[in-house]
Amino acid sequence: MYVIAEIPSQATTPELYKIVSQHMIHGPCGLANPKSLCMQDGKCSKKYPKEFSEQTVQLLDGYPMYKKSNSGSSVQRSGVILDNRWIVPYNPYLCCTYSAHVNVEIHSSVTAVKYLYKYVYKGHDRVMASIQSDEHNEIQNYVDARYMSASEACWRIFHYDLHDRSPAVQRLAVHLPGQHTVLYKDGKAVEALQTSKDTTLTAWFKANQEIPETRNIHYHLFPEHFTWNV
């Protein structure tokens, strides 16, 4: 895989030229668009436009300065003429395959490991939403809503593990008859006792009565062969 940060030839690769022109150009920002989202303190936070360079040069921060020749190639976007200095690094194969913004970077520093782990293990993004009734404007209900990002959605689609425990621990209940823990609301203790589910201990006793194969399995080894339907 290789990375390019220049405008492709419209004559030889028209499809790639179209994709790069639509998806792989940063801006315009700066004086041409001071209200751009990347602008911070009057400067582009992504450090665009980059400098012209006739060859790729490795910088001290781990990222290279990609080749951006002053060839005269340009693309017009939002009424502004943009040259190679505004091109986001890309891979031609990925751009043509997905026809989307696919930023590809070459990083040679150990901080790349931190960058990758940050997105894989950063956990769920969360957002605070406010719900207000039209009939009762004086009451505001706040809901801590869950937002699933694209990276988490992809992680779940491929059925990757979201968490792990080492060593795995299964809590096994130990209690006398009728003395298991029951959760109930005030005034509903009787109903909670009548509808309480089996504990791991009582379920183990029932399994021994109904499944002959389980009678030779000790209680602490039961989770290695069966799971509880809670």
3 occurs within a structural domain? no
Q: Same structural domain for residues 26 and 89?
A: yes
32 occurs within a structural domain? yes
6 occurs within a structural domain? no
Q: Same structural domain for residues 138 and 189?
A: no
pLDDT at 146: 62
pLDDT at 138: 62
Q: Same structural domain for residues 74 and 99?
A: yes
Q: Same structural domain for residues 156 and 181?
A: no
What is the mean pLDDT of the segment spanning 14-30? 92
Q: Count of domains in the chain? A: 3
CB 82 within 8 A of CB 27: yes
Q: Same structural domain for residues 53 and 96?
A: yes
Q: Same structural domain for residues 80 and 124?
A: no
Last residue of a domain, one of 108, 129, 145: 108
CB 68 within 8 A of CB 85: yes
5 occurs within a structural domain? no
Instruction: List Cβ neighbours of 42 (8 Å cut-off, separation of 6 or more).
Output: 34
- To the question of pTM greater than 0.95 for the whole model, the response is no
Confidence band, pLDDT 50/70/90 cuts, at residue 19: very high
What is the mean pLDDT of the segment spanning 62-78? 87
Question: Is the pLDDT confidence value at 154 over 70?
Answer: yes
Q: Same structural domain for residues 174 and 202?
A: yes
State the Cα–Cα distance between residues 148 and 102, nearest whole angstrom. Answer: 20
State the Cα–Cα distance between residues 27 and 37, nearest whole angstrom. Answer: 9
Q: Same structural domain for residues 196 and 223?
A: yes
- The better pLDDT of the pair 130, 91 is held by 91
Phi then psi for residue 66, to 5 deg, are -70, 155
Handedness of CA 68, 70, 72, 75 (dihedral sign): positive
Question: Is the pLDDT confidence value at 142 over 60?
Answer: no
Q: Same structural domain for residues 76 and 91?
A: yes
7 occurs within a structural domain? no
9 occurs within a structural domain? no
Instruction: List Cβ neighbours of 140 (8 Å cut-off, separation of 6 or more).
Output: 130, 131, 132
- 41: its two tokens: 């303190």
Q: Same structural domain for residues 101 and 128?
A: no
Q: Same structural domain for residues 18 and 84?
A: yes
Confidence band, pLDDT 50/70/90 cuts, at residue 108: confident
| Residue 64: CB atoms within 10 Å | 18
- The better pLDDT of the pair 182, 10 is held by 10
State the Cα–Cα distance between residues 106 and 97, nearest whole angstrom. Answer: 20
pLDDT at 13: 92
| Residue 189: CB atoms within 10 Å | 11
User: What is the domain extent for residue 147?
Assistant: 110-164
192 occurs within a structural domain? yes
Question: Is the pLDDT confidence value at 144 over 70?
Answer: no
State the Cα–Cα distance between residues 228 and 70, nearest whole angstrom. Answer: 68
DSSP secondary structure letters along 11-59: TT-HHHHHHHHHHSB----BTTBTT-TTEETTEETT-PSPPPBSS-EE-
47 occurs within a structural domain? yes
Confidence band, pLDDT 50/70/90 cuts, at residue 17: very high
